[in-house]
Amino acid sequence: MTAGTVTPYRPGQQTGRDGFAQLLRAEWTKFRTVRGWVIGLVVAVLVMLGLGLFAAVGTSSSCQSTSGESGGPARSGQGCSTASAPPVGPGGEAVSDSFYFVRQPLSGNGSITVRVTSLTGLIPSRNGAGTGTQPGLVPWAKAGIIIKASTQPGSAYAAMMVTADHGVRMQDNFTGDTAGQPGAVTASDPRWLRLTRSGNTIAGYDSSDGTHWTQVGTVALAGLPPTVQAGLFATSPAYQAISESVGGGENGIIAPSQDTAVFDHVGLSGTWPAGTWTGDNIGAADASGIGGYHQAGDQFTVTGSGDIAPAVPGQGANDVTVAAFLVGTFAGLIAMIVVATMFITAEYRRGLIRVTLAASPRRGRVLAAKAVVIGAVAFVAGLVAAAAAVIFGTQLARGRVSVFAVSWLTEVRMVVGTAALVAVAAVLALALGTMLRRSAAAVTLAIVVIIVPYFLSLTSVLPIGVTDWILRLTPAAAFAIQQPVPQYAQVTALYSPGGPGGYFPLAPWAGFAVLCGWAAIAVALALVLLRRRDV
């Protein structure tokens, strides 16, 4: 409070001021010197890691179980002996790559053009449990032309195809999917497809008359070799009659299906050194024995079974996702909630809050400092525990069971997201503790809003429509950050939160944003109450 022209004296060290750095330091000192809280933090890390490893061990020995009666659709024809890790696509994720391939090598640049006049198929008949067949197509039965780096399952590709229910699509590297002309293919309404390679770039075109072409898309396939395999393909994903029965989880059958496509007007440009067509079952399609082709003049009839698409968890007999190793998050979160709540309620109980606020009368900054300290501590604890659980859990489970491959980016998102989830939940608990000033009430409320909604979504009592809304609106939406595999529009599967995929109605970061929103509201309310109330 100096005035006039005199330069005020400023001491080098501003002792006694409530600078934010000093506040942070004070709160950090409080945290680290309370033995119970440090123990709680260690407990949080240990239970998070321990339960994750328990899940890794408990899941991986499922081969010895007598029957898969633990819910979920009955999986026909897949025992432990046949379980093998699915191939891994160019993006690092697990994929299905099995189809019938009528191919020729293509050297350098070139293109392939065909006309598709028919797509028909066979699906299991409903009354027999997968024994008989009847004419029909699964929605994503697909046939068309493909340019693929090699015949190795999981290798890079780009394809133009007709599908049963989703019109013409251009798909690439398993996850890419672009819609072309809509509508089903018939003899009177055929589809023309064209793929053109130019270096690493492949362009896809469709047409209904062979003269007027529309470009559906272009994709760049990194590392495409000079000579690629190109030709016709047909494949048809497993038929799934999954009925979500009201209140009783799901049941149904999964059985192979097949489709048959008729091609003509096959036009090749560029260098095709072999000159003749070769037919091959690629990937797991070998096992099904379905597949073949027949050439009559210009006309090709190709039959195939399988899928060229990203794999989703739960289709294999006993695969486990990285998300299973993060199940300890729930336990670690409870420990962290207890610590974060006590970080403020202990001050009220012991009267320390009066000293704290006397030393630093700007209450908002006190709360902010507390939030920063507890958030940072929780983030670090969550990061250490989640990273260790994923790394060691994968090592423990590998060799006994196929760990469902996801890209490293996804793993990083799951681990860092889990740490962020624990941190924001801790801040939410701190805010609840500030509002309620009572440990038991605040801890109960925090657990009830964060963890119980997730639990309720798991119980089969509630219908999926209700659980979807629970997981959109409550802070439990944030567990979407641990979802290992997205819902793919081009893969038919039962996407439910309790299943092996752990699917959430919101995208990972959107779900996390819901928790952040709740935490922001709670902090704002806590701030108002802390300012208005006497201590």
Partner 1 sequence: MRLPVPASTGSAEALHAEWTKTRTVASTGWLLLAAIALTVAVGAAAAAGISCPSGVVCQVDPAKVSLTGIDLGQAVVAMVAVLAISNEYSTGMIRITLSAMPRRAVVLAAKAAVLSSVVLAAGTIAVLASVLAGRLILSGHGFTPAHGYELLSLSNGPVLRAAAGSVLYLGLVALLSLGVATAVRDSAVAIGIVLSLLYLFPIVANVVGNAHWHRHLEQIGPMTAGLAIQATTDLTSLPISPWAGLGVLAAWAAAALLAGGLVLRLRDA
Residues at the contact surface with partner 1, assessed by CB under 8 A: 36, 40, 51, 54-55, 58-59, 61-62, 64-70, 243, 245-249, 318, 320, 323-324, 327, 330-331, 334-335, 337-338, 341-342, 345, 349, 438-444, 447-448, 451-452, 454-456, 458-459, 461-463, 465-466, 498, 500
Q: Are 216 and 180 in contact (CB under 8 A)?
A: yes
Q: How far apart are CA 447 and CA 440, in angstroms?
A: 11
* Phi, psi dihedrals of residue 196, rounded to the nearest 5°: -125, 125
Taking the complex as a whole, the smallest distance from the CB of residue 437 to partner 1 amounts, in Å, to: 12
The number of residues in the chain equals: 535
Looking at the Cβ atoms of 65 and 76, the one nearer to partner 1 is: 65
Judge contact between 104 and 242, C-beta under 8 A: no
- The CB density around residue 226, as the number of other CB atoms within 10 Å, is 8
CB of 224 or CB of 427, closer to partner 1:
427
Report angle CA 478, 484, 486 to the nearest 5 degrees: 85
The distance of closest approach from Cβ of residue 474 to partner 1 in the complex, given in angstroms and rounded to an integer, is 12
Q: CB count, 10 Å around CB of 266?
A: 18
179 CB contacts (<8 Å, ≥6 apart)? 166, 167, 168, 169, 216
DSSP character at residue 480: G
User: Which residue, 59 or 492, is less far from partner 1 as judged by CB?
Assistant: 59
- Give min distance, CB of 223 to partner 1, in A: 36
First-to-last alpha carbon distance for the chain, in angstroms, is: 29
Q: Which residues contact 317 (CB under 8 A, 6 or more apart)?
A: 68, 75, 78, 79, 80, 82, 83
Provide the residue type at 18 as one letter: D
Give me the least distance between CB of 331 and partner 1, in Å please: 6
Q: How far is the CB of 322 from partner 1 (least distance, A)?
A: 11
CA distance 205 to 158: 12
Phi then psi dihedrals of residue 57, to 5 deg = -70, -45
Of the candidates 328, 307, 344, 441, the one whose C-alpha atom is nearest the C-alpha of residue 382 is 328
Q: Which of 124, 62, 71 is nearest to 253 (CA)?
A: 124
CA-to-CA distance for 305 and 168, rounded, in angstroms?
19
State in angstroms the smallest separation of the CB of 34 from partner 1. Answer: 12
Cβ of residue 305: shortest distance to partner 1, in angstroms? 27
Residue placing its CB nearer to partner 1 in the complex, 14 or 65: 65
Nearer of residues 44 and 290 to partner 1, judged by Cβ: 44
Q: Which of 387, 421, 382, 386 is nearest to 509 (CA)?
A: 421
Min separation Cβ 522 and partner 1, Å: 17
Identify which of residues 59 and 258 has a Cβ nearer to partner 1 in the complex: 59
Cβ at position 78, least distance to partner 1 in Å:
14
Measured from the CB atom, the residue of 43 and 114 that comes closer to partner 1 is 43
Nearer to partner 1, 322 or 516 (CB): 322
Q: Which two tokens stand for residue 385?
A: 């525990």
Between 355 and 466, CB nearer to partner 1: 466
